[in-house]
């Protein structure tokens, strides 16, 4: 998936830098996949690859933050899709509740700090389902303001990017193996996520 996407975007844009930027904007792949792809598949410099991947994935997070609910609202009007969207919302709600529970009984300012760092840490862990896409969705369901969510997403993404950049540098001779391993993980996590959504129940009160 990641390799196919990288080659497809390279064929479309004919530019390795633009292709790397757009690879980083895709869910599950994000900068965690774009950095080794830009370095190993496209042969770009590590720092330029990391910078482009960071910008692209962070921009994707901003788009998700503003477009998630409007897109969900639109999709719920399509017959046959509504129930799937409700289940997806329920999944994001549960993830948001895991952070929100830690704010119980806290003053508003302390609760905001807990949400901020909870979101930051979630995004900073470089796993396929803990990037800015999911982080931005969680921020939406936590009802966070954009000016609170963006720094948490950006800083968390920066930490994740630094970790992946370091790993790519240290294991550069094995970057192809990293890419194929990432591909396998992305497929596995995609299947697991789909199963979770299908088996989950909509939130109480939803139909």
Give the start-to-end residue ranges of the domains of the chain. 2-199
Query: Do 53 and 75 form a contact (C-beta atoms < 8 A)?
Result: no
pLDDT at 207: 44
Angle at 155 between CA 7 and CA 88, to 5 degrees: 65
pLDDT 10s per residue in the chain (207 long)? 566 767 787 788 889 999 999 999 998 889 998 999 999 888 999 999 999 999 999 999 999 999 999 999 999 898 888 888 888 898 888 889 888 888 887 777 888 899 999 999 999 998 878 899 999 999 999 999 999 999 999 999 999 999 999 999 998 888 878 777 877 887 888 788 888 777 777 765 444
CB 35 within 8 A of CB 50: yes
Provide the token pair at 183.
């591909």
Residue bearing tokens 């992305």: 186
Task: Extract the tokens encoding 96.
Answer: 């948001």
Cβ neighbors of 171 (< 8 A, separation 6 or more) are: 178
Distances, alpha carbon 84 to alpha carbons 60, 76, 89, 108, 109, in Å: 22, 9, 9, 34, 35
Give the chain's radius of gyration (CA, Å): 18
**Residue in the block written with tokens 């909509």:** 202
**Distance from C-alpha of 172 to C-alpha of 166, rounded to nearest angstrom:** 10
What pLDDT was estimated at residue 203?
63
Contact 66, 153 (CB under 8 A): no
Where residue 143 falls (left for φ over 0; alpha for ψ -120 to 50; beta otherwise) is: left
């Amino acid at each position: 998936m990641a390799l196919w996407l990288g080659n497809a975007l390279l064929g479309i844009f004919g530019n390795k830098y633009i292709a790397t930027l757009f690879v980083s904007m895709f869910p599950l792949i994000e900068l965690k996949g774009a950095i080794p792809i830009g370095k190993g598949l496209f042969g770009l410099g590590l720092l330029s690859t990391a910078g482009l991947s960071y910008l692209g994935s962070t921009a994707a997070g901003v788009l998700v933050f503003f477009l998630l609910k409007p897109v969900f609202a639109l999709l719920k009007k399509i017959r046959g899709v509504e129930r799937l969207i409700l289940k997806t919302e329920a999944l994001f709600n549960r993830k948001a509740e895991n952070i929100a529970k830690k704010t119980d009984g806290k003053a508003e300012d302390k609760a905001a700090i807990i949400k901020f760092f909870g979101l930051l840490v979630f995004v900073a862990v470089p796993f396929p389902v803990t990037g800015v896409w999911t982080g931005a969705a969680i921020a939406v369901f936590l009802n966070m303001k954009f000016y609170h969510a963006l720094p948490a997403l950006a800083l968390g993404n920066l930490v994740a990017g630094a970790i992946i950049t370091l790993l790519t540098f240290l294991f550069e001779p094995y970057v192809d193996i990293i890419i194929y391993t990432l591909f396998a993980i992305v497929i596995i996590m995609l299947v697991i996520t789909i199963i979770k959504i299908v088996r989950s129940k909509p939130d109480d009160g939803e139909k």
